[in-house]
């Protein structure tokens, strides 16, 4: 659920540190950041995309997707210029984002939150539900196409269309749930898709294609790390943007951050 269009980003996590454990690919990317972004600890002070949640936007018009694909190829071919500078900034944002997941199968305690392991604070060692660690996960959104902030009604409508596309996906995920990526002053809602490991590669391709359709710069991909029930590998996978946005970090389950945008039931007027 990762979009585009950021002016200034603080990025305390080193997103370029490759993770060797479980080199399987896995998604909630994000769209446009509001000004004055500040990261926060999971204990109470921060995704694209994500979720996502992550972060994780609707160019729902069919004529746009080929252009986005062409732009992505062009961006991958060059690491110089203003677009590459912006992508490097977004990489730091997305690598440091927090996720919120709602109604995860097997979870009865409300929303699940994740944070980068390198974020300040002591590890919580909270386990994820089995469906999380036994699946390849991908997160994306319909909010704020191409990083342009849209009214919440438009964003909700875009997510409604995205949900319909998810329900018609091939291959179909074995499960999906609502999700969101958030920071101190930014949030975008979307979805996480769960695939069996054997379907993970095809699921990732389908999720990226869908993200391109909805104007997403990237998606998140999650997979288990060394059988640790409370730890995931989270990759930022390019969609409508180039390889500069790629990142590979570890995230852990954590308690709810003390941030307004961590609220699963955030009123529309607060977006």
Q: Is 80 exposed, middle or buried (0-12, 13-18, 19+ CB in 10 A)?
A: exposed
Q: 168 has which bridge partners?
A: none
The pLDDT score that the predictor gives to residue 135 is 97
The pLDDT score that the predictor gives to residue 59 is 31
Q: 136 has which bridge partners?
A: 195
Model confidence at 32, pLDDT cuts 50, 70, 90, reads very low
Q: Are strands 112-116 and 136-141 parallel, antiparallel or unpaired?
A: unpaired
Give the separation between CA 225 and CA 158, rounded to whole angstroms.
33
What is the rounded average pLDDT of the residues 192-205?
Answer: 98
The pLDDT score that the predictor gives to residue 119 is 67
The pLDDT score that the predictor gives to residue 108 is 87
The pLDDT score that the predictor gives to residue 80 is 62
The pLDDT score that the predictor gives to residue 232 is 97
30 or 170, greater pLDDT: 170
Question: 104-109 long-range CB contacts below 8 Å, 24 or more apart?
Answer: 104/129, 104/131, 104/132, 104/177, 104/192, 105/129, 105/131, 105/175, 105/177, 106/130, 106/131
Lowest mean pLDDT among 118-122, 134-138, 230-234: 118-122
Q: 140-158 burial, b if ≥16 CB within 10 A, otherwise e?
A: bbbbbbbbebbebeebeeb
62 to 189, 202, 229: CA distances (angstroms): 22, 22, 40
Ramachandran region of residue 147, left (φ > 0), alpha (ψ -120 to 50) or beta? left
| Structural contact between residues 210 and 60, judged by C-beta atoms closer than 8 angstroms | no
From first CA to last CA, the distance across the chain in angstroms is 16
Model confidence at 185, pLDDT cuts 50, 70, 90, reads confident
Model pTM score: 0.74
Q: Which of 261, 262, 257 is nearest to 271 (CA)?
A: 261
Model confidence at 2, pLDDT cuts 50, 70, 90, reads low
């Amino acid at each position: 659920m990762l979009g585009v269009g950021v002016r200034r980003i603080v990025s305390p996590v080193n997103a370029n540190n490759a993770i060797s454990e479980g080199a399987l690919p896995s998604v909630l990317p994000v769209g446009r950041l509001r000004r004055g972004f500040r990261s926060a600890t999971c204990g109470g002070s921060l995704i694209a995309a994500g979720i996502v949640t992550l972060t994780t936007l609707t160019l729902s018009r069919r004529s746009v997707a080929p252009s986005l694909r062409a732009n992505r190829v062009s961006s991958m071919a060059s690491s110089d210029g203003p677009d590459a500078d912006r992508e490097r900034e977004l990489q730091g944002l997305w690598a440091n984002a927090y996720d919120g997941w709602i109604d995860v199968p097997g979870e009865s305690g409300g929303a699940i939150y994740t944070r980068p392991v390198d974020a300040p604070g002591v590890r919580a060692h909270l386990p994820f539900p089995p469906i999380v660690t036994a699946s390849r996960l991908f997160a994306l959104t319909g909010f704020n196409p191409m990083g342009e902030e849209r009214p919440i009604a438009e964003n909700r409508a875009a997510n409604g269309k995205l949900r319909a596309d998810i329900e018609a996906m091939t291959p179909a995920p074995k499960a999906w749930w609502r999700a969101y990526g958030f920071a101190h002053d930014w949030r975008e809602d979307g979805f996480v898709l769960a695939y069996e490991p054997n379907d993970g590669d095809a699921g990732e391709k389908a999720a990226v294609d869908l993200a391109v359709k909805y104007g997403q710069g990237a998606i998140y991909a999650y997979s288990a790390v060394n059988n640790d029930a409370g730890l995931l590998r989270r990759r930022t996978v390019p969609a409508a943007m180039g390889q500069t946005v790629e990142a590979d970090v570890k995230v852990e389950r954590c308690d709810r951050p003390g941030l307004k945008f961590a609220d699963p039931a955030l009123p529309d007027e607060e977006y």
